Structure 1
Amino acid sequence: MASRVAAMALTGARPTPHATAAAADTKCRAWRTQLSLHRRGTRGLIARASHRLQQHPSCAAEEGVIQWLRRAAAALAIAAQISISLPANAVLYSPDTDLPRTGELALRRAIPANPNMKAIQESLEDISYLLRIPQRKPYGTMEGDVKKAMKIAVDNKEAILGSIPVEHKEEGAKLYTSLLEEKGGLQTLLKYIKDNDPDKLSIALASSLDTVAELELLQAPGLSFLLPQQYLEYPRLTGRGVVEFTVEKGDGSTFFPTAGGDPKSIATIQVVIDGYSAPLTAGNFAKLVLDGAYDGVTLKCASQAIIADNETGNKGYTVPLEVMPAGQFEPLYRTPLSIQDGELPVLPMSVYGAVAMSHSVDSDEYSSPSQLFFYLYDKRNSGLGGISFDEGQFSVFGYTTGGREVLSQIKTGDKIRSAKLVQGRERLVLPTAAAGES
């Protein structure tokens, strides 16, 4: 059974107040006819459009005007630096929304690690934001952030290393030493800050944050919460995994590399899947990859999404919608987040290359058994705060970390030649029957 993915192009459009009522009605009927034909032709690739037609400018110009005026009012309030009372959905239009903007940052924040390591991570991430300030950099603040991180690391050495399992103690000790003393560590950051060298500081900071993430992963050997009883017989991923997609052009053309090299008809996309925040969704996907469910699957492009239009039948599980809210210890099931009320997910969709499952054709409370999509986040089609209008509505379970430049070159008709689970097989827990099949 084919599944559904949101009609993301229907949201955030500017109103057309000069359209006549007759013209709007004609366009609305034409849109409904087109949608009906498209859904029959592609077996429901574009989902949830029927209840979002009121957001189409031709079908609901008045509602569009209201939404556009809200955005304009929020922007004017910010520009004039005046304080006004905004509605609950102001989070959509706030320019200060704190969402990670890269898959790597989102994945690092999602690791359920020792609180001391999280405090070190936050101090170093603050430097990343400070480096974006043009012209004169606040090096004094940066130095304070590094020294704060060093103090936490030194004062809490036993707690940091004590939370690492015995079999990884030696590796953890080396990483701890590397973070404090070796090239690319905190001492190196202080040197480049004193030299006022933002370029070298940026490179060393990335190295330090990578080391922090490695330490945190050692501290998180499995799930930090218990799954609900009714989901214990589902496949689940108890940590991180890496999947490599080999994609080929369907029309004989080539992919163009952005960093030199020769154009090729085949490209590789690497995805890190996160069982810490979406164990059921990631587990079901990992099992499908092992079963070869995506090998030979045709890709289709919709607005802001690349959809794997596979017909795997009953190979996958109808997993409930699974979203981990920020600040919570376990995911919510069958319950989307209310972004208007300020609820944000640990794994946001508002990141270019986010990977999520489409909705089940029967209910938005469940994910498709097998149909995934790559989200091509575009800030121009989001709220003022850079949040997708569909944020918190889908089960995001990973991010594209390699080959992001390939995504923009994929066209309808291109194919997944193969998908392989290259890391994390040991973290995949399968039900007894499924384990016997794999």
Structure 2
Amino acid sequence: MWLKIPNLFFAFVIVTALTLGGCAGNAIGSSSTDTNLAVTEAAQKTTDKKPTDSTQAVSVAYNASESFPEMKDLPRLEGKATVVITVGGSPITIELDGDNAPITAGNFVDLVQRGVYNGLVFHRVVRSPEPFVVQGGDPKGNGTGGFIDEKTKTERMIPLEIKPKGAEQPVYSKTITQAPVLEHKRGVVAMARSQMPDSASSQFYFTLADLAFLDGNYAVFGTVTDGMEVVDKIQQGDLIDSAKVTAGADNLKNGGK
């Protein structure tokens, strides 16, 4: 399958499909910033991935607050949580992994509890030339927006958060070349972002196939445990009826801030 062959031709096909399928200038992006290079870089890196000492990853994680000082105030999920997203009257059950992606999962749970996703559109669905992603969560509905905090009147952004296998803590604010704990397997949920690592906000995507070339470049934070057949039927323009936390709400810290 072409997604498993890391060369520039297929990277070009992916970028072209995404650009034409949604807002121009965005790949798996969450702002108006051009993200084509981010996807191209992701595909290229699969040709020369080398294992990195996990202790190096841990040291980077401990220094994360220096590059993203707001991180200590962000919502954080300590453990697991379950969210049910209803589309066209049919439920999609997602298990969120706060053990391996606490900030990313915590941000998502907080937005669900605020009702941010209710009524939002899936603005990008890419199934051709091969199954790729279903993307939504943009309050603007066109792939250029994110969550605006009513208190600060600014867009909340979260750092790129990826935990390498063998590491005790996630790496923040940078892509990695080592294998992550949470891989881009079919049915996972991950955060969209622009070319800048720390630019994810509210946009998320479901993977429609195994997408190993995205590993280490985008933050996976959950898995569809039931209702993948619903995801497979989502069309561009379909709405999220509702999103609700059905378990693990007590594991959210700093929510509502």
TM-score (structure 2 length as normaliser): 0.72
Distance 1:55 1:283 in 2: 25
In the TM superposition, residue 348 of structure 1 has moved relative to its aligned partner by 0.9
CA shift in 2, pair 1:308/1:10, >3 Å: farther
In the TM superposition, residue 376 of structure 1 has moved relative to its aligned partner by 1.3
Distance 1:356 1:412 in 2: 18
Does structure 1 residue 49 correspond to structure 2 residue 36? yes
In the TM superposition, residue 421 of structure 1 has moved relative to its aligned partner by 0.7
Distance 2:73 2:42 in 1: 40
Which one of the candidate residues 316, 320, 325 is aligned to 2:164?
A: 325
In the TM superposition, residue 354 of structure 1 has moved relative to its aligned partner by 0.6
Distance 1:424 1:238 in 2: 9
In the TM superposition, residue 50 of structure 1 has moved relative to its aligned partner by 4.1
Does structure 1 residue 337 correspond to structure 2 residue 176? yes
Distance 2:41 2:164 in 1: 28
In the TM superposition, residue 414 of structure 1 has moved relative to its aligned partner by 1.4
Q: What secondary structure, in the 3-state scheme, does the structure 2 residue paired with 1:283 have?
A: helix
* Alpha-carbon contact 2:42-2:214 (below 8 Å) kept: no
Instruction: Tell me the equivalent position of 2:198.
Output: 366
* Aligned-residue CA RMSD (Å): 3.8
Instruction: Tell me the equivalent position of 1:400.
Output: 224
Instruction: Tell me the equivalent position of 1:233.
Output: 73
CA-to-aligned-CA distance 1:295-317 (integer Å, 9 cap, x gap): 01111202510001422541363
* Alpha-carbon contact 1:344-1:392 (below 8 Å) kept: yes
Residues 252-331 of structure 1 aligned to structure 2 (within 5 Å) = 266-299=89-122, 300-303=124-127, 304-311=132-139, 312-315=146-149, 317-331=156-170
Instruction: Tell me the equivalent position of 2:183.
Output: 348
CA-to-aligned-CA distance 1:240-260 (integer Å, 9 cap, x gap): 000000001xxxxxxxxxxxx
Distance 2:252 2:15 in 1: 43
In the TM superposition, residue 12 of structure 1 has moved relative to its aligned partner by 4.0
Quick check: which one's helix share is greater? 1
CA-to-aligned-CA distance 1:103-122 (integer Å, 9 cap, x gap): xxxxxxxxxxxxxxxxxxxx
Letter in 1 for 2:36: A
Quick check: which one's strand share is greater? 2
Q: What secondary structure, in the 3-state scheme, does the structure 1 residue paired with 2:203 have?
A: strand
Letter in 2 for 1:356: A
Letter in 1 for 2:156: Y
Instruction: Tell me the equivalent position of 1:218.
Output: none
* Alpha-carbon contact 2:135-2:206 (below 8 Å) kept: yes
* Alpha-carbon contact 2:37-2:195 (below 8 Å) kept: no
Does structure 1 residue 421 correspond to structure 2 residue 255? no
In the TM superposition, residue 377 of structure 1 has moved relative to its aligned partner by 1.7
Structure 2: which 5+ residue stretches go unaligned?
30-34, 52-60, 140-145, 150-154
* Alpha-carbon contact 2:27-2:36 (below 8 Å) kept: no
Instruction: Tell me the equivalent position of 1:246.
Output: 86
Distance 1:236 1:53 in 2: 31
Distance 2:247 2:18 in 1: 40
CA-to-aligned-CA distance 1:217-265 (integer Å, 9 cap, x gap): xxxxxxxx989553221110111000000001xxxxxxxxxxxxxxxxx
Distance 1:52 1:10 in 2: 14
% same residue:
29
* Alpha-carbon contact 2:118-2:241 (below 8 Å) kept: yes
Letter in 2 for 1:244: V
In the TM superposition, residue 44 of structure 1 has moved relative to its aligned partner by 2.9
CA shift in 2, pair 1:88/1:335, >3 Å: same
Q: What secondary structure, in the 3-state scheme, does the structure 1 residue paired with 2:241 have?
A: strand
TM-score (structure 1 length as normaliser): 0.44
Letter in 2 for 1:44: N
In the TM superposition, residue 272 of structure 1 has moved relative to its aligned partner by 0.4
How many residues in Structure 1 have an aligned counterpart in Structure 2?
A: 220
Q: What secondary structure, in the 3-state scheme, does the structure 2 residue paired with 1:356 have?
A: strand
Distance 2:111 2:133 in 1: 20
Structure 1: which 5+ residue stretches go unaligned?
1-7, 17-27, 57-62, 72-86, 92-224, 249-265, 383-387
Distance 1:357 1:319 in 2: 10
* Alpha-carbon contact 1:10-1:52 (below 8 Å) kept: no
